[in-house]
Amino acid sequence: MRKKVAFYTLGCKLNFSETSTIARSFKAEDFERVAFTERADMYVINTCSVTDNADKRFKTIVKQALQRNPNAFIAAIGCYAQLKPEELAAVHGVDLVLGATEKFKLTDYINDLSKNDFGEVHSCEISEADFYVGSYALGDRTRAFLKVQDGCDYKCTYCTIPLARGVSRSDSLQNVLANAAEIAGRDIKEIVLTGVNIGDYGKGEFGNKKHQHTFQDLVEALDRVEGISRLRISSIEPNLLRNETIDFVAASRAFVPHFHIPLQSGSNAILKKMRRRYLRERYAERVQKIRSVMPHACIGVDVIVGFPGETDAHFLETYHFLNELPVSYLHVFTYSERDHTVAAEMEGAVPKHIRRKRSKMLRGLSVKKRRAFYESQLGSRHTVLFEDGNKAGYIHGFTGNYVKVKAPWNPQLVNTLHEVELTGIDEDGLVRMKFIEKPALAL
């Protein structure tokens, strides 16, 4: 009988794209991939180290796997596996831990799937993670995450990503376009570009530390790939988001009017302590530029609360800055100390109950921002890509500018694009709609 393997991914879209690529290598070894909720011979956990919570979840996930099969072989890969391999190897039930360069060769480390008395570790020095492995994830029938870049050369004082993933390096433009064409050939309507710092695309493309291509070259080339209905930029640093890219997206064939731009703090004093490469004025300029050419664009923001030395005054600077900024939603992260980072050694630690309070305030602001953005779109026409899944009698979908809509469930709508008018907001915060033209489906 074929051996069964299951995967669990923690963290970002980049991790999902890499999990998908690693999973495809198991197919070549005649494994059958099953859901993580099923009994399997082997469980692979792709770890994250961005927050404390992701670290703590690892042990819980291992326990869940062992409950399904006490004799299952368990492998840990990913960022946490690179940063703290011995710590993961010591977790009861873990048999194999692979670091940043080894994870893509996971099948080479598997023999007979016999349980080990102690977790076996294969982890390189992060300086050796200087080569690129292309990846893409087919998350569902409608959307794919396409990895275009890995690693980061920035030195933000709170971040472990350079320690976990190494230097900034990029996929070749030729390979990105080939992967995009392969995804399009699977009738997937939307591609989301992902990486650690995708605005730095082109650096290390052929092992050269200089830029072979630019992010602008990338978006222009992808826009010409036939068969792709939508392209979405997952996240891009404000100092790397150029006017020419914003103007191109506004006029492009496939790129949608949706930007996710990390801010991290609305206080210049805190931004400097974080060693971010911009000040709040530059961030506001980027937002205003987008609004000037795409008034209907969706703009998401990453923000960290409770950074060392963040006073009430600093936090209120952030709150009022975001409140006045025409953005659409926030992703709020509560600062957590990470080993081997500069910030972990800084004075002025913010008490955790204050961190939680500030996080709650910004999450409340995010709800208001999203509601206001949705209300601003009512009465307008958009193209919706409908997703899979019957959610209490409804099917959900997203407009190009990331408004989440609902319609009565019809399986024939899955992975189809339709022009609609946004008509109202339900009690669940989702937008009601009506079709401009009745689809040629059995509605």
Q: What string of H, E and C letters represents the secondary structure of 208-250?
A: CCCECCCHHHHHHHHCCCCCCCEEEECCCCCCCCCHHHHHHHH
127 pLDDT more than 70: no
Q: What is the CATH number of domain 260-376?
A: 3.30.750.200
381-435: CATH class:
mainly beta
Considering the four listed CATH numbers 3.30.930.10, 1.20.120.530, 3.30.565.10, 3.40.50.12160, the one that applies to the domain covering 4-124 is 3.40.50.12160
Fold for 128-256, please state it.
Transcription Regulator spoIIAA (3.30.750)
Mean of pLDDT over the chain: 92
Q: What is the pLDDT of residues 276-323, one digit of tens each?
A: 999 999 999 999 999 999 999 999 999 999 999 999 999 999 999 999
Residues contacting 24, CB < 8 A, separation 6+:
none
131 pLDDT more than 80: no
- Of the candidates 2, 36, 3, the one whose C-alpha atom is nearest the C-alpha of residue 19 is 36
443 pLDDT more than 50: no
Residue 240, Cβ neighbours under 10 Å: how many? 18
Q: What is the pLDDT of residues 357-372, one digit of tens each?
A: 999 999 999 999 999 9
Answer whether 128-256 and 260-376 agree in fold.
yes
The domain limits of the chain are: 4-124, 128-256, 260-376, 381-435
50 pLDDT more than 90: no
Least confident range of 141-145, 412-416, 436-440: 436-440
- Grade residue 77 by pLDDT with cuts at 50, 70 and 90: very high
75 pLDDT more than 90: yes
Q: What is the pLDDT of residue 312?
A: 98
Give the Cα separation of 15 and 70 in Å (integer): 26
Burial degree of 217 (CB within 10 A; 0-12, 13-18, 19+): middle
121 pLDDT more than 80: yes
pTM above 0.85, yes or no: yes
Who wins on pLDDT, 205 or 66?
66
Q: What is the pLDDT of residue 114?
A: 87
Who wins on pLDDT, 28 or 286?
286
3-state secondary structure of 122: strand
103 pLDDT more than 70: yes
